[in-house]
Amino acid sequence: MQNTFIYVVFTVFMTLILGFVLALALNSAALWGTRFFRGFIYLPYVTSMVSMSMVWLWLYDPTNGVFNVILEALGFEARQWLYDEKLALGAMIVMGVWKGVGYYMTLYLAGLNNIPSYLYEAASIDGAGYLQKVFRITIPMLRPVTFFIVITGVINAFNVFEQVNVMTGGGPMNATTTIVHQIYTRAFTEYRMGYGAAEAVFLLLIILIFTLLNFRYGNQGQDLDIG
């Protein structure tokens, strides 16, 4: 439970922020290279999680991994990214953020294109700066998109399984074990089907609670006040 909640909070929050920032940076189609960078950032999301997990296994390799090669070139010691219980979960979170940021960016880009341009024009006439426009117009108008991202992001993060099963198997010392991985282990490795089914129902209730809370307090982007 602790591992799963940590993964959910950090993955959803970091991916949300990075996706929004990237969407702002790549919103203008008139700038050179924006289409290329949009496709490049979105590509990991449409790629198989298993294949991406194999790529990141190589990146995190303790001897020949890219990250350790860079650290050693900068004069730092190599890290046991997936074999250190203090680093393993963080390494999984970084991989999860990288995998999903393109999807969030695409949703925010769609939302940005639906914001009426006259709002920004009126704000410019009133002397509003760029950051004022972002916080007083862009973020409130994107509330429905943010609401959708939080709902789907929380559900997807709670269901994290493939990268855990491929990259760490829940180790080291259960540092990356998640709820879904535990369900898989109990039901299909230990053949305790009843126990696994009970855990699956428990996971369903958790996701249901988070979804209801978001519907209750997320406001779904209605009755916006951007004045």
> Which pLDDT value is given to residue 207?
87
Mean pLDDT of all residues in 114-121: 90
The token pair that represents 52 in the structure block: 């991406």
Q: Report if pTM > 0.85.
A: yes
CA separation for the pair 205, 58 (Å, rounded)? 36
In tens, the pLDDT along 140-155 reads: 999 989 988 988 898 8
CA separation for the pair 30, 199 (Å, rounded)? 50
Which pLDDT band holds residue 219 (cuts at 50, 70, 90)?
low
Which pLDDT band holds residue 128 (cuts at 50, 70, 90)?
confident
> Which pLDDT value is given to residue 223?
47
